[in-house]
Structures are given as C-alpha cells and as structure tokens.
Amino acid sequence: MSVSERRASARTAVVWEALEPVLAGGPLDVLDIGGGTGGFAVRVAELGHRVTVVDPSPDALAALARRAREAGVEVAGVQGDVSSLLEVAAPGGADVVLCHGVLEVVDDPAAATTTIREVLRPGGTLSLLVAQRHAAVVARAMAGHFAQALELLDPSSSAAGQSRTGHRFTSAELTTLLADAGLEVVSVHGVRVFADLVPGSLLDLEPGAAGALVELERAVSDRAEYLPLATQVHVLATA
C-alpha cells in the first residue's frame, strides 16, 4: 500500500466503522449524493448494495464508471444536484443516503438537508460527513492565514461557517440542522483528528505507523474533547 493509500485509509477508517452496522443487512438502496469518483460508492456496491451516485460533474461520473468497471460492480451514475434531487430520486426511495464532503459546497445546507430527508424512507439512515469549523480555524492559523482564521471563528459574523472554500460546521450546528430537517442524530464521530497532522514520511518509514494511527483515530473518534480538533465530523441520523 502506498503512503497516500495508507493516509486515505487512516482518514476514512472511522467513517467505515460507523457505517458497518448500517450496511450489514441488505441489499439496500443506497444513494450517494455528490459521490464524485466513487471512492465510497464502489466499495458500498462491493458489499452487495444497489448504489446510485448523483453528482453534477460529468468528469467525476466518468471516473466513477471506470472505477466501478475495474471493481466489477454496477453503480448507477446520474448527473444531478442536491437542490434538484427529487427530479432524479424517488421520495422515500433510499434506505441509506451518503452525503460526504458536499454540504460544504451547496448554497443552502438547510434546504439540502430537508431534501435529503425527503428521499430517505422512514427509518432510513443518513451518513453525513462535513468539514468541522474549529479544526479549520486552527489549520488557517497554522498556515499563517490569520485573517481567514478570524473570519471563520465568530459564529455571529456574516462570513462564519462559510470560508472561501465553503461552509464549515460545528457538531452543535449540525445537530440543529438535522433536527430542523426532521432527522434524528444517532451518532457523532470526529474524523481525521491526527491523520492530517502527521507527516507522510512518518507513515512511509515507520513500520506499523499507519495501523497504529488508524487505531488512535478510532480511539479518539467518540471522545467529545477531541471533536473540535477533527478535520471532519461524521454524523449518522435516521429519518
């Protein structure tokens, strides 16, 4: 495994572990909104589920098709947007919705969450992965972008929650967003608490380091005191 694969696995291990019981039954109808090139979707299809990716990018959908073909699985790719999701997905038709790394870039996260609720069947599960604001403030400051860090810091400022690269969320804001959409939070995990801070050379040179990092990420993922340090927050919520 290459260093980038090892780092990728340390970045997603906590999410996969949380999803394991959700994807244990099946086959399920899984809708991956903004599923991009299929990093999650193809692996979910490999577990035997019926997966549809809705994404506005034709390039991403082409890469998804290639990846699915190489893996020998079927994943339906549909060009579309979360704001017009109900034009391409049936209301109440999804057992599971994945929305990973997307809420940051949509114009209206509250409207998007409400639409997601509508495509989930009653009792269905949303897996939501978003960039976490406190870690984004620290990352900006450490990179010397102090004005940007300050912009992101204050929830009452007009720029708060939305940096130049999109919205950032605290776990409290997510809980409110999901409750307003009629979704009930089942679990909250911090993702990439350390994975983005560790130099790649360390993962490459130190035998066993990548595995130990995954173990550490798992151990801190449900500790509230580490949540503000996590690059992303992962929430499972039911409709």
Ligand X SMILES: C[S@@+](CC[C@H](N)C(=O)[O-])C[C@H]1O[C@@H](n2cnc3c(N)ncnc32)[C@H](O)[C@@H]1O
Nearer to ligand X, 39 or 228 (CB): 39
Residue 44 in tokens:
């979910």
**Secondary structure (3-state) at 74:** coil
Q: Return the DSSP state at 183.
A: -
In the window 8-47, what residues touch ligand X (CB under 6 A)?
Answer: 33-36, 39-40
Does residue number 81 form part of the binding site for ligand X (CB under 6 A)? yes
Taking CB under 6 A as the criterion, the residue among 29, 55, 151, 217 binding ligand X is: 55
55 close to 35: Cβ distance less than 8 angstroms: yes
Does residue number 166 form part of the binding site for ligand X (CB under 6 A)? no
Does residue number 60 form part of the binding site for ligand X (CB under 6 A)? yes
**Secondary structure (3-state) at 147:** helix
Site string (106-135) toward ligand X, x via CB under 6 A? x-----------------------------
Nearer to ligand X, 13 or 106 (CB): 106
Taking CB under 6 A as the criterion, the residue among 101, 109, 124, 190 binding ligand X is: 101
Residue 143 in tokens:
């990179």
What is the distance of C-alpha 164 from the center of its chain?
Answer: 19
126 close to 97: Cβ distance less than 8 angstroms: yes
Query: Which are the contacts of 175, defined by CB distance < 8 A and separation ≥ 6?
Result: 185, 188, 235
Taking CB under 6 A as the criterion, the residue among 82, 96, 103, 214 binding ligand X is: 82
**Secondary structure (3-state) at 184:** strand
Nearer to ligand X, 28 or 130 (CB): 130
Contact set with ligand X (CB under 6 A): 33-36, 39-40, 55-57, 60, 81-83, 100-102, 105-106
